[in-house]
Amino acid sequence: MLTPEQIEAKLDRILLKVQKPGRYVGGELNITVKDWETATTKVALVFPDIYDIGVSNVGLKILYDQVNQRADSLAERAYVPWLDMEALMREHGIPLYSLESKRPLSAFDLIGFTLPYETLYSNALNALDLAGIPVRSAERDEEHPIVIAGGHSTMNPEPMHAFIDAFVIGEGEEVIHDILDVLQAHASRADRLLALAKVPGVYVPKFYETFYLDDGTVSHIETLVDGIANPVVKRIVAKLPPPPTKFIVPNIDIVHNRVTVEIMRGCTRGCRFCHAGMITRPVRERTVEEVVNAADTAIRATGFEEVALLSLSSSDYTNILELVTAVGEKFQGRQLNVSLPSLRIESVSIDLMDKLRQRRTAGFTLAPEAATERMRRIINKYISDEDIINTTREIYARGWTTIKLYFMIGHPSETLEDVQAIADLCKRVLAEGRKVIGWKAKLNAGVSTFVPKSQTPFQWVSVDTRERILEKQALLKRELYRDRNIKLSLTDPDDSLLEAWLSRGDRRMSEVVYTAWKNGAKFDAWDEGRKPEIWKAAFDQHGLDIDFYTARQRRTDEVFPWEHITAAVRKNFLFQDFRMSLEGQIRVDCRQNCFACGILPTFSNMRRENPGEGWKCPDVKSPAKKINVELPVVGD
């Protein structure tokens, strides 16, 4: 195994031959470099995309802090090298290494990947390979690190089950400590994996087996050892811990140069297409004071020029006006931008943004998602055209010249008329804008393609075929390309389809992932990496049909490949919501009325112990049961 000095010497010879060598050298402000020898457990946290994207990831930052706060452990970071650097690393025999101490990843005890989206899968395999670690879990032995993964896409972990030793389902802040404890208490790989499988919220694929029906769908899923959970219930924290503030400040330009403060986790809106909204329940809010103090501390610690107040739906934060006022006052005249994403389409949102405007006026972003009343009822995001027109007119009138509208095509039962309505609405918004500010008015329409995700009310529906997507996109281009003040951006159908088969794939899909990676798939989310023909060939090689995973309406009684994993929102609830969508029925914000999605019964003890305003679920008043029903019973 190469020493840090050997790796650095090799790097010195190649770094000036690659684009942005600053990605590969570490040494940033606010990193933690702990003594290697005195740490019992060494963790490498990996974002399987380039540095420029990965370094600002908040999830990994939280885990980095959690691990490094322990006296007995250390955490370092790694990202995957861009194509030019990877080629040189392989040529010069440089394994994937951590930025802090320049040690090869194979020197660590634990490798933790974050997999927020499916298009990173091929990169995760490539990262393991570049680290000299067997890509397949079954081929690792005592000398190899334990490889874990978490993040939103792991709500269906099956397409990656062959490569990851253990998945963390749900929130990582507390479970990471359980995992470190297991590693310290057990020495052998076998003992460690069995002990990990008994940690609530941890899924170890080798202890489960999936059985299939003749038609290729799942019959059932069995556990292979006693004392492990089926289903594995996601972990959550009862109260959001203090947010990270010592953000790493890169020495080179990256995608998001900013401080991020999560103001609230979870969402009560219940938009049926929204994976995050379904899997991050319940809603838990931080107090205004905590958010403002964290933002202030973080700005002092980093010097960043932007603060992002993060949540799935800022307008729903209980004290949003108070928060925005406090933040506005705090950062007045300090040459800072404050961004507040995901605002509701109403004039109050403009008041909020007005309070935050300081350094320069960026565009104003709204996400209607659909443009007809029928469609909006189906997806459960109901806004009237009049609200959209009135709000956008007001935005132009108050000095923003560019409005960005996000839509999706490919919602269930969508017709070309529904797509036409998107174009019509964009034109109408811009026409209204012109009445107010003339030809300065601009509109950016971002139209992505809907991909049904596991653990959501739309997990039963088919995704549009490639032809259908292209037909809808052609319509939008025809309608909107003529106006040069409208900028239309579309998602490549190949990207959407890749995401579609990976997100609802079963265990057999992992062979497709393996073969595609072996044949060169990587950076699937990048134009430079898009290789649909490699993926198609991999499906053919394994006798699997792409349409089975994408363009297929699931039976109502179908057992899903992810049936043994749950985000604690019951399948019955999701199915009822799916039925309601077919009938165009709206379900209102569940802050107004609890619809018993399943979160409260699963986490009733936790809620009982944390009553009041922190959660947006109703209080649990019934006495606690003797047996802890929240989490699966853990064997010894």
Per rule CB under 8 A, is residue 305 in the interface with other proteins? yes
Please give the DSSP secondary-structure letter assigned to residue 88.
H
The residues, ordered by sequence, that sit 6+ positions from 234 with a Cβ below 8 Å of its Cβ are: 155, 169, 170, 171, 201, 279, 565, 566, 567, 568
Long-range contacts, stretch 416-420, CB < 8 angstroms, 24+ apart? 416/471, 416/472, 416/475, 417/372, 418/370, 418/371, 418/372, 418/374, 418/375, 419/472, 419/475, 419/476, 420/475, 420/479
Among the listed ranges 115-123, 182-190, 244-252, 417-425, the one in contact with other proteins (CB under 8 A) is 244-252
Contact flag: residue 363 with other proteins (CB under 8 A): no
Please, are residues 208 and 221 in contact by the beta-carbon 8 Å criterion?
yes
Residue 147 pairs in a beta bridge with: 111
Q: Which of 83, 87, 237, 301 binds other proteins (CB under 8 A)?
A: 301
CB of 296 to other proteins, least distance (A): 12
- Range list of β-strands (E), 478-599: 486-490, 565-566
Instruction: Compare residues 9 and 594 and give the one whose CB is closer to other proteins.
Output: 9
Among residues 29 and 594, whose Cβ is nearest to other proteins?
29
Q: Is 437 in the site for other proteins (CB under 8 A)?
A: no
Per CB under 8 A, which region of 74-82, 203-211, 249-257, 614-622 contacts other proteins? Answer: 249-257
Task: Decide: is 15 part of the binding site for other proteins (CB under 8 A).
Answer: yes
Binding pattern for the stretch 280-299 against other proteins, x by CB under 8 A and - elsewhere: -------------------x
Contacts of 602 (CB under 8 A, 6+ apart): 233, 568, 630
Quick one: 20 or 428, whose CB is closer to other proteins?
20
**Taking CB under 8 A as the rule, does residue 335 contact other proteins?**
yes
Site for other proteins in 25-84 (CB under 8 A): 25-29
Specify the residue, 249 or 276, whose C-beta has the smaller distance to other proteins.
249
DSSP string covering 128-192, please? HHHTT--SSGGG--TTSPEEEEESGGGGS-GGGTTT-SEEE-B-HHHHHHHHHHHHHH--SHHHH
Instruction: Tell me the closest approach of the beta carbon of residue 245 to other proteins, in angstroms.
Output: 13
- Write out the two tokens for 13: 């010879």
Helix (H) or strand (E) holding 32: none
324, 356 contact by CB (below 8 A)? yes
What is the spatial distance between Cα 532 and Cα 66, in angstroms, rounded to a whole number? 39
Determine which residue in the list 83, 87, 237, 249 makes contact with other proteins, applying CB under 8 A: 249
**Which of 14, 193, 366, 445: binder of other proteins (CB under 8 A)?**
14
Rank residues 27 and 438 by Cβ distance to other proteins and give the closer one. Answer: 27
Q: Which stretch binds other proteins (CB under 8 A): 36-44, 115-123, 237-245, 300-308?
A: 300-308
Please, which residue, 52 or 118, has the CB nearer to other proteins? Answer: 52
Binding status of residue 556 toward other proteins by CB under 8 A: no
Least distance from C-beta 534 to other proteins, angstroms? 33
Sign of the Cα pseudo-torsion (510, 59, 530, 50, in order)? negative
Residue 364 within binding range of other proteins, rule CB under 8 A:
no
Q: Does residue 87 belong to the site contacting other proteins (CB under 8 A)?
A: no
Query: Cβ(251)–Cβ(28) under 8 Å?
Result: yes
CA-to-CA distance for 38 and 74, rounded, in angstroms?
9
Q: Which is nearer to other proteins, 26 or 205 (CB)?
A: 26
Position 251 contacts other proteins (CB under 8 A): yes
In the complex, which residues of this chain contact other proteins (CB under 8 A)?
Answer: 12-17, 21-22, 24-29, 249, 251-253, 257, 299-305, 334-335, 359-360
